[in-house]
Structure 1
Amino acid sequence: MKFASIAGSAIFAASVASAQYVPSVESLEGVYKGKTYSPYAKRDFPSNVYWGDTHLHTALSPDAGLFGNTLGLEEAYRFNRGEEVVSATGLPVRLARPLDFLVVTDHSDMMGFATDLAKGAPNILATEQGKRWYEGLQAGGEESANAALDLITNFSQGTLDPKLVADYAPGSPAYDSVWQSVIDAAEKYNDPGNFTAFIGFEWTSLVKGNNLHRNVILRDGAFRARQVVPMVTQPPIGSTDPLDLYAWLDKYESGTGGQALAIAHNGNLSNGLMFPFDAQYTGKPVDENYVQLRAKWEPLYETTQIKGDGEAHPFLSPDDEFADYETWDAGNLDLTEAKTPEMLKHEYARSALLMGLQLESKLGTNPYKFGQVGSTDAHNSLSAIEEENFFSKAPSAEPSPTRMHHPFTKTEIGAFEGYELTASGRAAVWATENTREALFDAMERKETYATTGPRMMVRFFGGWEFTDDDLRSRNPAFAGYEKGVPMGGDLTQPTGDAPTFMVYALRDPIGANLDRIQIVKGWMDANGETQERVYDVAWSDGREPDAEGKLPPVGNTVDLEAATWTNTIGASELATIWTDPDFDASQKAFYYARVLEIPTPRWVVYDALRFGVEIPEEAEKTGQERAYTSPIWYTPAG
């Protein structure tokens, strides 16, 4: 009886305590930022970053098939969600960590051609081009790669055999069958909450070798995707004009009730055409119609990938010591035209962001107000771009003792050397959940960032009220969303005070420590001229800037013989509140964060160790992997 009495008293006491002392949600308003005791309840902002690739090709792409890729849609999805597969060159391969989402973007032109070419279809062998490419494919190796490059050149010059174009155009049985298989595979592997498979394609505008490609991503599933066929570029029904792609996107949305967006890539291979200022390549002016449509349909830009990094160029940013990173500037995509200095301004993300400020003042809309992502553009179905697990662009450049010693592309103009292929990149998306809808919506609002491969976690917020106290919490995002805007946002508060920015980064859990965080600012001065500056805002190891404000290098722990490094320098996390010391409230500006790791080995070092070969003298052996956030824009009041 004594036991029962004690138990009863305890139950009574607990119920009284519950009735008297459990706080309500309302009672926590203004007291606790999470609004409830649990900081994970009642919050509606994105709390997860999802990793993916918005640009991957399978054997269905004509050039990928000619390069020797035999892996189709099934292998691409299985591999990139974490399974082991065998590459087209017979090597077992697996990702260190699976992706969260994937967009298979096979070329929209000539769908079905690659499959039939591999089979030696009679209609293909009946043409001189088809027979030549088939023989190159059967020979394999360098001959197969040369056949692929020949196809690309004929494609870009508009000299494809008209019969081949007609046999594999939208409306043909071969084309329509392949498009349905693309939809079916995405539906099969789309697993909301676990793995997202988007339906998409690459619109491959290639004007005389100058890259104007866009990847198209649909927010929707099979019901809407089956109501359309992709936009193509080859005549008589296709077009290489981006304005015609925007018309296709508009027709898709109005006709199906769905949503779509486009992502441009590799402006560094466009020879000055990717970001026009006065006139488009067609001769049409960059007018109000152009800037409005581009701003509407292209919320993101692919800043980094296997064919070079496209954030900045040392010619354009001579004061930026980190601007010359994985630079490809020999010429256009197929090296049929050499690069000249005046082209560069119209090819790189930072210079485009700057021109966007000027175009907004001139035409009322900023066409280059884009967020940033990275992706691979791999043509072997494998999004394997870790430096130690680099399966490169195509089967012809998959791991072998000779791949770094042979040019990937070479003409009389110049060469893209094998060792120049870049192990990059990844798209990071801050979203509420891993679904098509949530990820697409995050891309639309530009809450994304690009990395060259590592999965460092980066947050970037802008506002006017951030203080050091906001970083004392292990959940600073509460203050970030409450007091300001995230990456991709706009600062619109009418104030003359300088904005404050909260930025923090955590290293990749299995990667290298962090060297520093920088904020890149671009602005338009009173004379309408654009300016830029890179600020070191947080750094590791207690270094001090010199008299000129330059931060000493972090050091280098790379062991080239062992193909490794140590995390005895750098920091596992960096964070700061930064106020622009050069702010002028009357000047339009943008800000984005760049996060640098400590030096680590490039993929050529791993190849040298595993194959026992020498690295070409000209090849870079180490690099500082990095992340680029989407910008935050400031516009003066009024």
Structure 2
Amino acid sequence: MRKIACASSFVLLGLMVAGCDVTGAEVVERDGADIAQAPLPERVYWGDTHLHTANSVDAFGFGVRLGPEDALRFARGDEVTSTMGLKVKLARPLDFLVIADHSDGLGATKALYDAPRFMIRDPQLLRWHDMMHEGPEGTQRVTAELITAAANRTLPAAMMDPVAGRKRTTTVWTNQTRTVERYNQPGKFTAFMGFEYTLMPDGNNLHRVVVFRDGKSKVDQILPLGAITGNIPDPLWDYMDAYEKKTGGKVLAIPHNSNVSNGLMFELTQPGGGPMSAEYARRRGAHEPLVEITQIKGDSEAHPFLSPNDEFAGFGVEGWDLGNLPLTRRKTPDMFAGEYVREALKRGLAIEARTGVNPYRLGVIGSTDSHTALATADEDNFFGKHTGQEPGPDRVMESQNLGTAAGRFGWHYLAGGYAAVWATANTRGALFDAMMRREVYATTGPRMTVRVFGGWDFGSSDLNSSWVRTGYARGVPMGAVLKPAVVSGKRPTLMISAVKDPIGANLDRVQVVKGWIDSAGALHEEVFDAAWSNPQQRKMVGGKVPPVGDTVNVARATYTNTIGAPVLSAVWRDPAFDPRQRAFYYLRVIEIPTPSWPAYDALRYHLKLPPEVRVKQQERAYTSPIWYEPPAVGAGPIMDR
């Protein structure tokens, strides 16, 4: 039995509020050291690295009343009751979860809501308290005002009180880490400690999810770092260094949702201006090995403005390319290059060519960024960005219903995504280490099994039952660097396998996206179709594979797997390789068309949707790149083509 010591009160938002402190309760840490490790990463593990509960200022304000325990129970496959009273359960449990509640104001709106009215002295806080008690609409108005105040740095002084804030944060954090520790079951379900560093200068999203490899005994030695007054990510890296030095633990950060940063997430410069230095590039790369390429608030892989020759660019960009997070500043086309991942990968090559260090050697993952405490990423099981978007007849046209032309609520939300990790076991250590080496990929929700190895001498005969061992023995996996070939005349060769989601849609095609920098310093990209379904009938026309077809019945929200393929594999060779040019290669795996969540809602609630609403789409997966690094000058002969 857990022993919980209740204190009579603690300071919260400048108030004395009754509370319960469970920091003294005993907890068992399971580090997974007794779990058998596979000799090679033989299995992909599915998870969400970005989920919010009632401890997040905005999530509670939007109405969610589920806490960390509910989130963990749901992710591992238990049935829970949603905030709006629906019984919910994942058909397929996740393997791991990171609860990433906002560090700024951790638990603050919940504390304000729970506070006795007579003890609230600040007039703004009192007004917000009363509005929240008016009902869901009042609570959402408070949240909108809180987000604006945070972006403008005009939060009430009582909310910024460092002493009261530290006391509140300590209580909420240690209780949350205790819950996370209890649900961590190495070998079965991994619960990570983490938080969201909500860096948002002038409303431009520079958020990071911080993930710890360690358990409660180490993580409790620090508190989540706030970012509300910050302009640059450097303080987070200082914090991470200090944590590792103090505890001997390990931590990483994941930049996310770069598509609303107004060009600031992937800059060519460094704080204070001037070109990015090698030292700065090295520091960023060491702390941030991954990026969140897709989530509910849109997809950040590529934009049609940047990639006009890519007919599949622009998935999920509708509405999200209008401006920054709170739309306090509209976006201009020159900002796109600093906030889409493909361009960031190319910029990394340019910085590396100049400094010798690549700050944007980024692996990719997807996650939900759900503020409902429910880690759902399926189109037919979408529970919305926030509690007000739980299933109901009004959510598809939320922007219109709210009387705003913002164009980024309702149907503009995506239902995904998820993070896929190739690891040797389902433990914190194995999963974290796989993230650090970037052996990960992202999907927009479907659980496709995708793998790629890069080498110099793979052949079609290698795609046999031992192809994974061959890939590791004679090449490198996704996320790694391919060194120059020993023998001249070789071309990078990718050994590729993609298998459909077992209960999902067939695959349309697998594409290789290549980026490179030429001798003049110009950046280039090209998309190659490497494998596709029904190749006998779908012959390339003008260098492109024709569309796969469309079986979607929008009225019934159905599709059929009479087109596409369950498995696609190939050995692909770069047809235009220059051994002197830095390059990267990643896979984009595309499903056949399927209904999107507004189509399911239209069927459930008998809705007539406007023509602009996205009712079908081709969901996809993105792998972490494999980078080619040319030989150093004077290191040996340059290979010929």
Instruction: Give TM-score scaled by structure 1 length.
Output: 0.90
Match of 2:310 in 1: 320
Shift of 1:351: 0.3
Instruction: From the superposition, tell whether residues 284 and 582 of structure 1 become closer, same or farther in structure 2 (CA, over 3 Å).
Output: closer
Match of 1:523 in 2: 516
Tell me, yes or no, if the aligned pair for 1:592 and 1:632 is still in contact at 8 Å. Answer: yes
Q: How does 1:84-483 map to 2 (within 5 A)?
A: 84-122=79-117, 125-166=120-161, 171-172=166-167, 174-235=168-229, 239-280=230-271, 283=273, 286-327=276-317, 328-407=320-399, 414-471=406-463, 473-483=464-474
Cα distance in 2 for partners of 1:94, 1:141 equals 24
Superposed CA offset, 1:116-168 (max 9, x none): 12213458843233233323322334443232121111111111112112167
Q: How does 1:47-66 map to 2 (within 5 A)?
A: 47-66=42-61
Superposed CA offset, 1:94-120 (max 9, x none): 112100000001011112312212213
Q: 1:584 aligns with which of 578, 586, 600?
A: 578
Instruction: From the superposition, tell whether residues 479 and 186 of structure 1 become closer, same or farther in structure 2 (CA, over 3 Å).
Output: same
Shift of 1:411: 9.5
**Which residue identity lines up with residue 66 of structure 1 in the other structure?**
G
Cα distance in 2 for partners of 1:582, 1:364 equals 24
Match of 1:17 in 2: none
Shift of 1:578: 0.3
**Which residue identity lines up with residue 439 of structure 1 in the other structure?**
L
Shift of 1:550: 1.2
Cα distance in 2 for partners of 1:204, 1:283 equals 23
Match of 1:21 in 2: none
Structure 1 range deviating more: 331-340 or 486-495: 486-495
**Which residue identity lines up with residue 415 of structure 2 in the other structure?**
A
Instruction: From the superposition, tell whether residues 92 and 412 of structure 1 become closer, same or farther in structure 2 (CA, over 3 Å).
Output: closer
Shift of 1:231: 1.1
**Secondary structure class of the residue paired with 1:139:** coil
Cα distance in 2 for partners of 1:167, 1:287 equals 34
- Long gaps (5+) in structure 2: 1-35, 633-641
Tell me, yes or no, if the aligned pair for 1:231 and 1:248 is still in contact at 8 Å. Answer: yes
**Which residue identity lines up with residue 297 of structure 1 in the other structure?**
H
Instruction: From the superposition, tell whether residues 583 and 181 of structure 1 become closer, same or farther in structure 2 (CA, over 3 Å).
Output: same
Identity of counterpart residues, as a percentage? 50
Tell me, yes or no, if the aligned pair for 2:440 and 2:478 is still in contact at 8 Å. Answer: yes
Cα distance in 2 for partners of 1:601, 1:131 equals 45
**Secondary structure class of the residue paired with 2:310:** coil
Does 1:540 find its partner at 2:533?
A: yes
Cα distance in 1 for partners of 2:404, 2:157 equals 28
Cα distance in 2 for partners of 1:494, 1:562 equals 53
Cα distance in 2 for partners of 1:67, 1:127 equals 22
Structure 1 range deviating more: 473-482 or 254-263: 473-482
Cα distance in 2 for partners of 1:595, 1:230 equals 36
**Secondary structure class of the residue paired with 1:606:** helix
**Which residue identity lines up with residue 101 of structure 1 in the other structure?**
F
Shift of 1:546: 3.7
Instruction: From the superposition, tell whether residues 126 and 617 of structure 1 become closer, same or farther in structure 2 (CA, over 3 Å).
Output: farther
Q: 2:483 aligns with which of 488, 492, 509?
A: 492
Shift of 1:637: 1.0
- Long gaps (5+) in structure 1: 1-40
Tell me, yes or no, if the aligned pair for 1:103 and 1:200 is still in contact at 8 Å. Answer: yes
**Which residue identity lines up with residue 254 of structure 1 in the other structure?**
K
Instruction: From the superposition, tell whether residues 119 and 199 of structure 1 become closer, same or farther in structure 2 (CA, over 3 Å).
Output: same
Cα distance in 1 for partners of 2:540, 2:353 equals 38
Instruction: From the superposition, tell whether residues 411 and 522 of structure 1 become closer, same or farther in structure 2 (CA, over 3 Å).
Output: farther
Tell me, yes or no, if the aligned pair for 1:183 and 1:199 is still in contact at 8 Å. Answer: yes
**Secondary structure class of the residue paired with 1:171:** helix
Superposed CA offset, 1:299-342 (max 9, x none): 00000000000000000000000002110201100111111100
Shift of 1:474: 3.0
Superposed CA offset, 1:439-487 (max 9, x none): 000000000000000000000100001000011x234211111110000
Cα distance in 1 for partners of 2:588, 2:456 equals 21
**Which residue identity lines up with residue 469 of structure 2 in the other structure?**
F
Structure 1 range deviating more: 426-435 or 113-122: 113-122
Structure 1 range deviating more: 409-418 or 292-301: 409-418
**Which residue identity lines up with residue 243 of structure 1 in the other structure?**
D
Cα distance in 1 for partners of 2:456, 2:118 equals 66
Tell me, yes or no, if the aligned pair for 2:159 and 2:165 is still in contact at 8 Å. Answer: no
**Highest Rg: 1 or 2?**
1
Cα distance in 2 for partners of 1:376, 1:268 equals 15
Cα distance in 1 for partners of 2:260, 2:123 equals 29
Does 1:76 find its partner at 2:71?
A: yes
Cα distance in 1 for partners of 2:568, 2:119 equals 57
Instruction: Give TM-score scaled by structure 2 length.
Output: 0.90
Superposed CA offset, 1:500-552 (max 9, x none): 10011110000000000000000001110100000000000124344411111
Match of 2:23 in 1: none
Tell me, yes or no, if the aligned pair for 1:110 and 1:169 is still in contact at 8 Å. Answer: no
**Secondary structure class of the residue paired with 1:637:** coil
**Which residue identity lines up with residue 560 of structure 1 in the other structure?**
V
Cα distance in 2 for partners of 1:597, 1:461 equals 21
Tell me, yes or no, if the aligned pair for 1:68 and 1:140 is still in contact at 8 Å. Answer: no
Does 1:634 find its partner at 2:634?
A: no
How many pairs does the alignment contain? 592
Structure 1 range deviating more: 100-109 or 406-415: 406-415
Instruction: From the superposition, tell whether residues 123 and 227 of structure 1 become closer, same or farther in structure 2 (CA, over 3 Å).
Output: farther
Cα distance in 1 for partners of 2:118, 2:293 equals 40
Does 1:551 find its partner at 2:545?
A: yes
**Secondary structure class of the residue paired with 1:357:** helix
Tell me, yes or no, if the aligned pair for 1:521 and 1:591 is still in contact at 8 Å. Answer: yes
Tell me, yes or no, if the aligned pair for 1:336 and 1:411 is still in contact at 8 Å. Answer: no
**Secondary structure class of the residue paired with 1:449:** strand
Shift of 1:619: 0.7
Q: 2:554 aligns with which of 560, 581, 584?
A: 560
Superposed CA offset, 1:229-264 (max 9, x none): 1111135xxx34211110000000011100000000
- Shift >4 Å, 4+ stretches: 121-124, 167-170, 282-285, 408-413
**Secondary structure class of the residue paired with 2:166:** coil
Instruction: From the superposition, tell whether residues 455 and 547 of structure 1 become closer, same or farther in structure 2 (CA, over 3 Å).
Output: closer
Shift of 1:405: 1.2
**Secondary structure class of the residue paired with 1:215:** strand
Structure 1 range deviating more: 525-534 or 110-119: 110-119
Shift of 1:413: 8.1
**Which residue identity lines up with residue 106 of structure 1 in the other structure?**
D
Superposed CA offset, 1:27-82 (max 9, x none): xxxxxxxxxxxxxx996210010000000000000111100010001101111111
